[in-house]
Chains A and B, each alone.
Chain A
């Protein structure tokens, strides 16, 4: 089983190819999500793809106080949701 971070990165790559987006070369914990190369449609597709792969959607399941803006925050949100499963 891949770790969550790798799964998210793989899904990002997959979505980028499908939606004609170009991902930035390296995505670090503090890379801003809106600077990763995916646009709003790309992120909506990413969340849908991850829901299919992982079986949950944090944007629906968690009452979000703040929206994630960096990759680390995005990952943390998925980790929190995974712990709740």
Chain B
């Protein structure tokens, strides 16, 4: 496959990126990327970690290093790179890097753009340490479409671009020659102001973000033709609301995961996906439901090494997503692992339980999901306390401990003091809620 650089060079026209009021044409960023390649020939076939600073510099780095470096790590803030032999981009000091590189590499630049670059993206692991999953430009762009109509779009970026969903939006906009407006770091009302000002026509967001935009009361002022939902289960009522507001728009929900790469797109306006897809051999991914009601997928592209244990002999990856077949539809029920999805943010209950158990007055803790019509799921904790402890004080103690060590969406929104916590016959914690 051609590198990002070459694909963009071959487009008849490219778009403009707008972030924080600054406009940058992709054509200029391509030239900048070319300069970076010329300035740093020693990066050829090396691994590089791109630390996100702003959208224009991030996109320039992607264009420069795909096809040139052997690996690109998209590094979220505060995440350490997996090993030492990786160049940190942007460089802290030019001299340090140039001096440490073997000089012979400088003569190999003629082959630039011949490298099949592996892209690594971080996903949160159970222990809090990120898990790095590998992709290729081919797998990342499997669902990217090109057309005259798509070129005229203006996409809004509401996701962090170094995360899977955000990168999808960035690549779709870049490779279709569309414009892109970055509003990821703003509150919903400020986002709406930017979206209206830029006349955004295409928007991809989690169901929770869509609900927030609906709560501004101004979403209907946009003229959206492309509506995408992803990162959480898309429910029928939200799909219906968006379809009513934008009857002419193409409303689609995407099933994908950082681990497995792009999954599939549903565009018939209904929640879940058609059950007949389970037997369809012509799809880009083959789908099956396991005996345990997990969704299995078999992508055409390479599967990340980290998924080896979840892959069966026929090449199907267990997505660990629970599904239910209802007549002609397969509906998503949530994660089989107990992982909680708070508005698109993954929460590992084990991690929260470990923090709660640091409180001396608590003997047992169970963390699980409570359904939320606004954020999909919320984190709830049941705790057992030692005798002769004041309940209110224990709750305060738990909250204090959690606020110190957890991100906001990981902190239990409710703490129930209970007399008993269920265990499976195997002794494992039973994370189903005990009471409503």
Contact = CB atoms under 8 A, between A and B. Distances in A.
Given A40-B343, A41-B408, A34 B215 contact: yes
A48 B414 contact: yes
A35 B217 CA distance: 12
Contacts of A48: 370, 372, 378, 413-414
Contact of B212 (A18, A20, A40, A70): A40
Given A41-B375, A47-B374, A67 B343 contact: no
B375 A44 contact: yes
A30 B414 CA distance: 29
B325 interface: no
B192 to A, nearest CB: 9
A66 B241 CA distance: 7
| Residue in A39, A43, A67, A69 with the greatest tally of chain B CB atoms within 10 Å | A67
Contact of B399 (A18, A44, A70): A18
B7 interface: no
B422 to A, nearest CB: 21
Contacts of B187: 34, 39
Contact of B208 (A19, A40, A47, A68): A40
Contacts of A47: 372-374
A51 to B, nearest CB: 9
Contact of B214 (A18, A60, A67): A67
Contacts of A34: 187-189, 212, 215-216
Interface residues of B, number: 29
B372 A68 contact: no
A63 B370 contact: no
Contacts of B370: 48
Contacts of B409: 41
A65 B244 contact: yes
Contact of A68 (B189, B215, B241, B414): B215
Contact of A69 (B208, B216, B378): B216
Interface string B233-247: 000010011001000
Nearest to A46: B374
Interface string A62-79: 011111111000000000
A45 interface: yes
B211 interface: yes
A49 to B, nearest CB: 8
Interface in B179-218: 187-189, 208, 211-212, 214-218
Contacts of A70: 217
B342 interface: yes
Contacts of B23: none
Interface string A10-46: 0000000011100000000000111100011101110
Contacts of B408: 19-20, 41
Contact of B374 (A18, A35, A44): A44
Given A41-B342, A48-B378, A20 B414 contact: no
A70 to B, nearest CB: 7
Nearest to A60: B373
B403 interface: yes
Contacts of A63: 237, 240
Interface string B359-385: 000000000001011110010000000
Contacts of A65: 241, 244
Contacts of B244: 65
Nearest to B403: A20
A27 B98 CA distance: 59
A43 B212 CA distance: 10
Contacts of B214: 66-67
Given A18-B413, A67-B211, A45 B378 contact: yes
B189 A32 contact: yes
Top-6 shortest CB links A-B: A69-B217, A59-B373, A67-B214, A44-B375, A44-B374, A44-B372
Given A32-B189, A34-B215, A43-B215, 10 more contacts: A20-B403, A41-B408, A44-B375, A47-B372, A47-B373, A59-B374, A64-B241, A65-B244, A67-B215, A67-B241
14 contacts: A18-B413, A20-B408, A32-B217, A40-B188, A45-B413, A47-B373, A48-B370, A48-B414, A60-B373, A64-B237, A65-B244, A66-B217, A67-B217, A67-B241
